[in-house]
Structure 1
Amino acid sequence: MTETSSSAGPGSSLLGPADVRRLAAELDIRPTKKLGQNFVHDPNTVRKIVAAAELSPDDVVLEVGPGLGSLTLALLPACRSVVAVEIDPVLAAKLPETAADRAPDLARRLHVVPADAMKVTAADLPVQPTALVANLPYNVAVPVVLHLLAELPSLRSGLVMVQAEVADRMAAGPGSRVYGVPSVKLAWYADARRAGPVSRSVFWPVPNVDSALVAFTVRDTLPSTVDRRALFTLIDAAFAQRRKTLRGALAGWAGSAAEAERLLTVAGVDPGVRGEQLAVSEFVRIAEASALR
């Protein structure tokens, strides 16, 4: 790890630890747990993230929570444009200046949207993104990813940095100990996999949890035309009482244990299994059976 800036390629200079602290001091920024702010200050790490994202020159990247711009500067040379959504107005105002200063030939590719990513819709963005690449605030990582997938049908792929335990849950398959609501809901949109660990030492301040990357590829077609909200309500119910079999866990959702058993049987699902044993396609079949009532 170096205390100096490193070149990311033609026209771009990445932020090192000294740069990050200098910018934070200039803006009187003190990273807060409330916003989940941990700034990446290692140039090699952001290079690896961009490489792992496998972007094409035509990609439009959506970056959530760009902060001081460490990852933003590495993304600019790798794609057609970057749409950076930043909730902190001070950071949002500074980012274009940082890009103009350190990547003057590429700064025109950056579009900064001062907004809460949990409320962003396609209409709020100047150009529609094809890839999500972000160091996500740990406290809202899963809701942000699911919200963006629901609101931005142009997204085709993603690579996000999240808390290691969250990464495990997002990429887990049926039968895994950590398979749950995030796993199934993300699987409805995309195929996800863990894409490697990230050292605590590359952040400032150093977090007290481990981090990891999750990569996902959005499917060309969703598993079903079933209503997403109805499906997600079913998934929530199935995991609300993990120790119960689906016959019991879905009793409230279906209206009674007997009706839950009937719907499960119609869907070809054993009423005696637990939610953690079902793939998203099986949840879709249950939702379809319910829709026919």
Structure 2
Amino acid sequence: MDKVLVAESVRKSYGDVDALSGVSLSVAEGEVFGLIGPNGAGKTTLVRALTGTTAVEGDVSVLGSDPAAVEESRVGLLPQSFSPAGRLTARELVSYYAGLYDEARDPDAVLADVGIEGDDADAWYENLSGGQKRRTCVAAALVNDPDVLFLDEPTTGIDPAGRRSLWNLLESLADGGTTVFLTSHSMVEVERLSDRVGLLNDGELVAVGTPADLVAAHGGDSRLLVETTASPEPDALDDGRFTLSTRGDELVFEGLTPRDIGDAVRALDDAGVAFDSLTWTEPDLEDVYLSLTGESFEAVGRTDAAAGADADSDADAPVAEAGGGRR
């Protein structure tokens, strides 16, 4: 497949803070690439580099050209935050963005694709729920029928049913050849949608691969979680086949197979440990995240000062709008 997005040795600094430290990646046509990482890791800076809205060192190409030279109608961008100019209904907002292009999809059809129809389409944007606002912004990013779509937290505030519907839409777009570059704090979303995932930490791309490959390489073992208020000594339960640790009100057995669960329960009984529940878990992307960053997925990756220098407050880049990559 053709490489639609390419970054080679991309660097960006803000004072003494390196937001991006030699990032290299490529994304193929029709691929969904998920980018994850702590707050302040450089994710938004990388998106801005790829959309040509901030200057960087290194080489970046989109659809075979410099990002600034790509025809705007070929790129769709959904920023994390968005404030429309003026008081508009959902239909008027999407129609406004449709009017920026020589050719665009019917605004009502795009709104219907994201679940905004009837009275909701005629409601003032400011009066919509958070999830409806987000879906309207997705419609604005799709109205030009882009070849490349950049999505920053696309389902924030959207209810579970709406989230699944939007996932189906994005999968359909990718099947039709649209290239999607996704950043999200939902591991379920990233794992479901992404063909490949990149983990950015402190400005460095520390791992890239399919979700399954990343989990196999960095996710660790399956675990048996035991909910209990007891605090037994680990040695009292260790028979040499598994490791034991504590996490809050849980005992965590690692290194077991499903057929070892009975032995673990007998070890608990022999040690006089009462428990409320047992939960068997397989490693997933969140375990990969924890392994490679040393943090839970919700944690902030840097101090507020350093994060302020990162892309989320990139002073030299214009504020992004829903729709095309540049205005």
Q: TM-score, normalised by structure 2?
A: 0.31
Larger radius of gyration: 2
More strand by share: 2
Q: TM-score, normalised by structure 1?
A: 0.33
